[in-house]
Amino acid sequence: MKANGLLIYEIIYIIITVLTSLKVILDTRSSTKTLAYLMLIVFVPIIGILVYFSFGINYRKKKLYSKKILQDDRLETQVREHIKKYSAAIYEQGGIELADKERMYSYLLNEGNSALTGNNNVQLLFNGEEKFPLVLERLRKAQTHIHIEYYIYEDDLIGNEIADILIEKVLQGVEVRFIYDDFGSLAIHKKLVKKLIQGGVKAFPFYRIKILAFANRLNYRNHRKIIVIDGIIGFVGGINVSDKYINSEKIHNKLYWRDTHLMIEGPGVYYLQYLFLADWNFCAKANLQPTDLFFPRLLFRREYGNKIVQMASSGPDSENPTIQYTILQAIALTKNELIITSPYFIPGESILEGLTIAAYSGVKIKLLVPGVSDSFFVNAAAHSYYEELLKAGVEIYKYQKGFVHAKTLVVDRSLAIIGTANMDHRSFELNFEVNALVYDPQIANDLASAFERDILDAKKMDYYIWLNRPFYKKLIEKICRLLSPLL
C-alpha cells in the first residue's frame, strides 16, 4: 500500500515537472534563461519549481500596470502626433551632436514615445557631495510641487534633511508626493515615512511586499531615482538618498563611493514627470492627469540651455526591454570609441556579442567595473565575460579606490547616457529603470574625462594573466554565468 502511494506521488511530481518545464519553454524568451530554469527544475527537485513560480514568470507579458495617463484616446493620439512633430523639428535643428544618431532617437520615439527635447540645461553631478547640495537648494526654491521617487531612501542625515525640507514646503503650500520602493527603502518604514505623512507629504510605497507573494514582489522593484520640481527641474542617475554616497569627513564612511547623477532643467524633464505620474497612479491608486501644473507649456517657449535630451525607460510595464535595446543601438552606432562604467556587469549574450563585434571592427572600448563586487555570485558571473572581451581587445579596468556605482556610457564623445540601470539581467528585465541620453559633445567629453580620472584609481586587466587563472575559478564563473538570469 505504501509503495503504491509513493508511486502515485512520483507520477504526480513527474507530471508537475513536465508541465512546469513546458511552461518555461513556452513563456521564457531568453534561451539562456530557459536553460537555467530547466536545470534548476530538474536538478533541484521541488525547490526549483518553487523558485521558478516565485521569480521566473514572464511579467512583461502580463504587465504589472499600464503607463497610460491620458484617459481620452483621441487626445492621446493628438499628443503622440505633437511629440513626433516636435522631435522631428529638434532633430532638424540639431547639428553635429545629432549626426548619425537618427536611429537612436527614432527608436526611443517610436517604441517608447520619448520625445527628443531641445533647449535644456544639463549639469553632471559627481558623487553625493555634488548632488545633494544642489538638490537641497532646488527643493527649497520649489513653488508648486515636488515629486520624489527612490529605490533606496535612508533614515540618516541626508534623508532627514531632505524630509525636513519637504515638510517645510508643504507648510508653504507646495504639493509633495513621495514614492519609495518597499524593499529598497525598508529602513524608513518605521519612523521617517510616518514623519513625512504627519507633515503633510503624500507618501506611498511602490509594489508593497506582502507575505503571500513575497518572492514575486521582491523581484520586480522600482530602481528609479527621480526628482521633479515644478515640472521644470529634474534629477536622475545612480545616486540614492543615503549618507554612504557622500564622501566627506562629516559622514565618516569607511568606503569611498563613486557615482554619477544628472540635473536637467527644461523640456527634458517632461518624460521624468510622465514616469512619476504613471508610477504614482499605480502606487496611490490615483488618477492624476497631465495638467499645465505638471507640464508647464513655458518649457517649450524658453531656452534654459542648448542641450538635447531624451529618456529611455523600461520595466515589467513595457513591451520590450527598451534600455537593453538602447545599449545595443549605442554599440551599433559607435564608430571610434565606447566608454562604459557599470557596477554590475552581466551583459548577456546579445550585448556581449555586440561589444565583441565592435571591438574586432576597430572600435576602442573601455570598461570600468568594481574591483570587488558586493555579491560573490554577481562578481563571478561578471568575471565569466571578461576573457572574451579582453581577447577582442576591450580594455577592462577594476576600480580600486572604493566602490564604483555609476551607470554611464559615452559614444564617440558625442552621446552620453547616465541613469539608474545596471548592465545586467535584473535591470534589463525585472526592475523599473530610467536612463537619460544627452546628445552633446561637451557633456560627453566631461563624462569621458571623469572616466579617465577614475581609471587612475583602477587596475587594467591583462588578457594573458586572466587567461591563466586557476581552472576551478573558471568553472565557478561559468556556472554562475549559466545561473546569472536568476541572480
454 catalytic residue (yes or no)? no
Least trusted range by pLDDT, from 24-28, 201-205, 436-440: 24-28
Q: Which of 405, 424, 425, 446 is catalytic?
A: 405
- Is residue 211 predicted with pLDDT exceeding 60? no
pLDDT over 90 for what percent of the chain? 62
- Known catalytic residue: 407? yes
What is the Cα Rg of the chain in Å? 23
Query: Do you know the residue count of the chain?
Result: 487
**Residue of 412, 424, 440, 446 marked active site:** 412
Q: What torsion, rounded to 10 degrees, do the Cα atoms 35, 39, 41, 43 define?
A: 170
Please report the pLDDT score of residue 64 as a whole number. 63
What pLDDT is stored for residue 82 in this prediction?
A: 83
CA-CA distance, 36 to 389, in Å (whole number)?
A: 23
In tens, the pLDDT along 378-437 reads: 888 899 999 999 999 999 999 999 999 999 999 999 999 999 999 998 899 889 999 999
For range 359-365, the mean pLDDT:
98
Q: Are 181 and 221 in contact (CB under 8 A)?
A: yes
- pLDDT score at 212: 44
Q: And the C-alpha cell for 354?
A: 555586440
Give the pLDDT mean for 162-168. 98
* Position 163 pLDDT exceeds 50: yes
CA dihedral 371, 372, 377, 381 (to 10 degrees): 0
* Predicted pLDDT at 166: 98
pLDDT score at 297: 82
* Phi, psi (rounded to 5 degrees) for 180: -125, 140
Helix axes 31-43, 2-27, angle to 10 degrees: 170
Q: Is 412 an active-site residue? A: yes
Strand partners, 145: 175
pLDDT for 275-333, tens place per residue? 999 999 999 999 898 899 999 986 667 789 999 999 999 988 888 899 999 999 999 99
pLDDT over 90 (residue 1): no
> All domains of the chain, ordered by start, with CATH?
2-58 (no CATH), 73-92+120-307 (3.30.870.10), 322-486 (3.30.870.10)
Residue range 18-62, pLDDT digits in tens: 888 787 777 766 666 777 778 778 777 777 777 677 666 655 555
Whether pLDDT at 253 is above 60: yes
Q: What mean pLDDT is predicted for residues 241-270?
A: 93
96 or 427: which carries more pLDDT confidence? 427
Q: Is 147 a catalytic residue?
A: no
Predicted confidence band of residue 341 (pLDDT cuts 50, 70, 90): very high
Taking each helix axis from N to C terminus, what angle separates 322-333 and 102-112, rounded to the nearest 10 degrees?
A: 170
Give the SS3 label for residue 179.
strand
2, pLDDT greater than 60: no
> Does residue 223 have an active-site annotation?
yes
Active-site position among 131, 383, 407, 425: 407
Which of 131, 169, 225, 425 is flagged as catalytic? 225
Instruction: Indicate if the pLDDT at residue 373 is higher than 80.
Output: no
DSSP code per residue over 281-311? HHHTT------TTTS-GGGGTS-S-SEEEEE
Angle between helices 471-482 and 376-392 (to 10 degrees): 110
Q: Evaluate whether 255 touches 295 at the Cβ level (below 8 Å).
A: no
pTM assigned to the model: 0.90
Cα–Cα distance between 79 and 29 in angstroms, integer? 32
The CA angle 214-215-216, to the nearest 5 degrees, is 95
The residue that leads in pLDDT, 13 or 248, is: 248
Helix (H) / strand (E) element for 18: namely helix 2-27
pLDDT tens-digit readout, 57-89: 655 555 666 776 766 667 677 778 888 888 988
Options 131, 147, 223, 366, the catalytic residue: 223
* pLDDT per residue as tens digits for the range 442-468: 999 999 999 999 999 999 999 999 999
Which candidate, 335, 340, 465, places its Cα nearest to that of 395? 340
Check if 364 is active-site.
no
Residue 56 phi/psi, 5-degree rounding, is -100, -5
